[in-house]
Structure 1
Amino acid sequence: MKLKRIPLIASIAIFIAALLTLLSHYQILSISEPILMIVRWLAIGTLIAYGFQKKSLTTWILLSMVIGSEIGNDFPEFGVNLQVLSKIFLKMIKTIVAPLLFATLVYGIAGHSDLKQVGRMGWKSLLYFEVVTTIALFIGLLAINISKAGVGIQPPIAITETLQKVEPQTTTDIILHIFPENIAKSIAEGQVLQVVVFSILFGIALAMVREDKRKPMLKAAESLSEVMFKFTNIVMLFAPIGVGAAIAYTVGHMGLGILLNLFQLLATLYVALIAFILLVLFPIALFTGVPIKKFLKAVAGPISIAFATTSSEAALPRAMEEMEKLGVPRKIVAFVIPTGYSFNLDGTTLYLALAAIFVAQAAGIDMSLGQQLIIVFTLMLTSKGVAGVPRASLVILLGTAASFNLPVWPIFIILGIDELMDMARTSVNVLGNCLATVVIAKWEGEFDENATQEEILL
């Protein structure tokens, strides 16, 4: 009976800790910081007790985000030093991606020998991606025009921050970027789309050879995919530590106080992303008959990983595994999610539209609707193919500012809260791609309604 009370006790403890912290911050009550720290850690202690009771990986990932935030807030130097743990986690995840994609795609294509379905999934996926990202683009545009977050911002006296310089991408560059010239190089550079293209062509070629030649390679691909999913489970046991360390680093080096600065821009993005989820993704899920409750349970883990690490790639193996458990065939999961990582970046597309107009507003440039549309459609094209560039979205914005004769100083203002914005847009990217797999599976008539979800236990 006492164990059943743990969630209630944890909820009350967290509420009290949060309330006392807010009252102290706004000087309504005078409470010393050491006492507040003790109260917060006692509340976290109840959450840890709940985690041991629940014993699920997703629960521990979510709890680690709370613990990491508190470590970064109370012990910033220690929190910053924890970044090495999050880097270890990300490195281990990157070792999974290429072999997992290769094995699942090759087995999915050659194992069924249905080459027509590959083409069918291709055009359906691209059609879906284009429609949804275009809607995201317009929501971002509408949000920044309503909030006018950039209006009235004063330019800084000096700018010392620098970003990696990337040459502007032409249409030819974008197309060429899709195709690998060296598969080992593509794997080393984390070029997911190039790995997908190679794997699809390899799978098609394998499906075309004689059965006696195809069977050994098919068995090897099947075995490799099973091993990589087990490998993923092992690495995911480290996820709570990696996620908690990532949050501790973010809070430790930025501080919670940055939330108060540029709040209007940050709030505009978060409200726009929530509106996109409620007005676009949720209706799509309802219309296509997605089991909402099961879907939300499946995406909770991948989204929390994406939010904490600001890396879609970090969430990819877990997202693929959860979608397969949800009832999406492995061949569809392996095709749609990696492809969506280049063509279905809903959160990033919305952010780019919003940020581009913010730059113009901050610079005091009054742009017509036609001029705004030209900029955001340009951004939608140039955002393809630079996913491997650090701070890619900001780099794209710098290139766009130069192309349209906009000043760059507003982009460096965005830089101050870009990590917080990246958390949100990356989470929506992962959510959108997970939903896309279910939609395509439903469209193909291959979604298993009776699939059972088995949570990874600690």
Structure 2
Amino acid sequence: MKIWIKYLIGILAGVILGVFIPNTSFSLISEISDLVIRIGKYAVYPLVFFSFSIAVYKMMEEKDSIKTFLYSLFFIVFNTFVVLLIGATVAFIINPRRIPIITEEVAQVQASNWIDVFKLLIPDNVFNVFLGANALLPILFFSFMIGIHLNYDKRETLIIKDVLDTLGKLFYQMNSLIVELLSLGMIALGTFYTIQWKMVEDITPYLQVVLIIGIFTVFLLFVIYPLLTMLITKTKNPYQLLRGYIGSIMAALISGNSIFAYGTIVKESRENLGIPRKIGAIHLPLNILFGRPGTAVITAVSFFVILRSYSSLEITIFQYLWTFGFSFLISFTLPFHSYGASYVALSMLCGLYGKGMEDGFLNLQPILFVLSSFGASIDAGSALVNGYFTSDKLGRTHKINPKYYI
């Protein structure tokens, strides 16, 4: 049975359970869901560490490392720009309704301090990079440094390269087993997601923004991305390709967590989309950390809602351009936020805008889980689409018959 079918069955079972389970079970279901997220992330960090370093070395040996990085970065920026342009323009034209202003104290969010980020990248003890809760970027940087030094003496580093390569394959197999088992975990995630919906006291004020974001997400993943795939890679039937990464989108949607979805992303990228290991090992971590078109577009749409809520005036062209520009830039500054990145970006945007709206992002906290889910699902789809584009431009894609998709 295909991964996405198993995920779908698990999620639907969880939704049905969530309808009947009382809200008083929230804490218990939350703990179980957190355990499932931890299991899904269990092999991700070592998989990235070992695979990235050996991929960097191999690409340097083949003189393709710079080209791979450039294509990856280009498609990350291009995808973010296109998605944000379409989404922000649609929201600007629709001119969303106001939402209630929350006046009581609500828990704030803390954005990354870039001085601290550099300290994490270059700690006084390099082994500390493995200790952070969201340590993917420091691990990636350390892995990169190892990868570029593996060719200093091919004889002396031969054993190290073999060990790194073998461990990368080992953790890929471990991750594959976890991905297969996650279909059961989807029951807990589906239940928790449904209970969160039930606990929103009054969804009516937020219904329009949820519908805008939801419809746009579906339109992007099932219309825009297939069209881009046809134009860029000359694929005749992009919907066959879409079947190859729908499981990753579902994992990101139900969890709202990009690192949790990474295990499925890696497996589907290689075994469904035919993206070679050494290209995927470089591109996918970069895209998960910095390629956040979903985060960017949801930040922009949410900010338009807040602008409308704080003012009776229509949103101006200047406000549209300002929101577009800063949403675009902020989306690249969130490598330490695997969950709730849209909410963190929105808090940064409100702080930059000022004018009494510094705490405006708090008004969307009741639907934080929805924003995170849609943002993560777009980001997951983007990672795989960008990876396929990169692999195609390098001429390395292995064509896989859809009947052999996992």
TM-score > 0.5, shorter chain as reference: yes
SS of the residue aligned with 2:245?
A: helix
1:361 CA drift (Å): 1.1
Measured at CA, do residues 175 and 114 of structure 1 come closer, stay the same or move farther in structure 2, by a change above 3 Å? farther
1:296 aligns with 2:239: no
SS of the residue aligned with 1:238?
A: helix
Measured at CA, do residues 134 and 455 of structure 1 come closer, stay the same or move farther in structure 2, by a change above 3 Å? closer
The question of whether the paired residues in 1 share the 8 Å contact of 2:275 and 2:387 is answered with yes
The question of whether the paired residues in 1 share the 8 Å contact of 2:294 and 2:378 is answered with yes
Which residue matches 1:148?
95
Measured at CA, do residues 247 and 87 of structure 1 come closer, stay the same or move farther in structure 2, by a change above 3 Å? same
Matches of 1:306 and 1:73, distance apart in 2: 21
Q: Which has the higher contact order (CA 8 A, sep 6+)?
A: 2
1:165 aligns with 2:110: yes
Deviations along 1:156-186, one digit per CA (max 9) or x if unpaired, are 4x3232123336x5xx759948944355443
Which residue matches 1:415?
365
Which residue matches 1:219?
162
Matches of 1:397 and 1:92, distance apart in 2: 29
Which residue matches 2:251?
305
Matches of 2:116 and 2:301, distance apart in 1: 23
For this pair of structures, how many residues does the alignment match?
396
Match of 2:344 among 390, 395, 415: 395
Deviations along 1:41-76, one digit per CA (max 9) or x if unpaired, are xxxxxxxxxxxxxx4443221111111111111113
1:117 CA drift (Å): 1.1
Matches of 1:387 and 1:117, distance apart in 2: 25
Measured at CA, do residues 175 and 233 of structure 1 come closer, stay the same or move farther in structure 2, by a change above 3 Å? closer
Measured at CA, do residues 268 and 174 of structure 1 come closer, stay the same or move farther in structure 2, by a change above 3 Å? farther
1:425 CA drift (Å): 1.6
SS of the residue aligned with 1:301?
A: helix
Which residue matches 2:321?
373
1:113 CA drift (Å): 4.2
The question of whether the paired residues in 2 share the 8 Å contact of 1:61 and 1:304 is answered with yes
RMSD: 2.7
1:239 aligns with 2:182: yes
Match of 1:200 among 144, 151, 157: 144
Matches of 1:67 and 1:191, distance apart in 2: 33
Matches of 2:119 and 2:329, distance apart in 1: 13
1:249 aligns with 2:197: no
Matches of 2:110 and 2:60, distance apart in 1: 44
Matches of 1:177 and 1:293, distance apart in 2: 44
Which residue matches 1:15?
none
1:379 CA drift (Å): 2.8
The answer for unaligned runs of 5 or more in structure 1 is: 1-54
Matches of 1:134 and 1:271, distance apart in 2: 19
Measured at CA, do residues 395 and 177 of structure 1 come closer, stay the same or move farther in structure 2, by a change above 3 Å? farther
Which residue matches 1:62?
8
The answer for unaligned runs of 5 or more in structure 2 is: none
1:186 aligns with 2:129: yes
SS of the residue aligned with 1:82?
A: helix
Which residue matches 2:44?
97
TM value normalised by structure 1: 0.79
Measured at CA, do residues 455 and 449 of structure 1 come closer, stay the same or move farther in structure 2, by a change above 3 Å? closer
Which residue matches 1:31?
none
Deviations along 1:113-133, one digit per CA (max 9) or x if unpaired, are 436311111112112211221
Which residue matches 2:286?
339
1:308 CA drift (Å): 1.0
The question of whether the paired residues in 2 share the 8 Å contact of 1:72 and 1:80 is answered with no
Q: How does 1:433-452 map to 2 (within 5 A)?
A: 433-450=383-400
TM value normalised by structure 2: 0.88
Matches of 2:217 and 2:119, distance apart in 1: 28
Deviations along 1:291-331, one digit per CA (max 9) or x if unpaired, are 62442232122111111111111111221121111311101
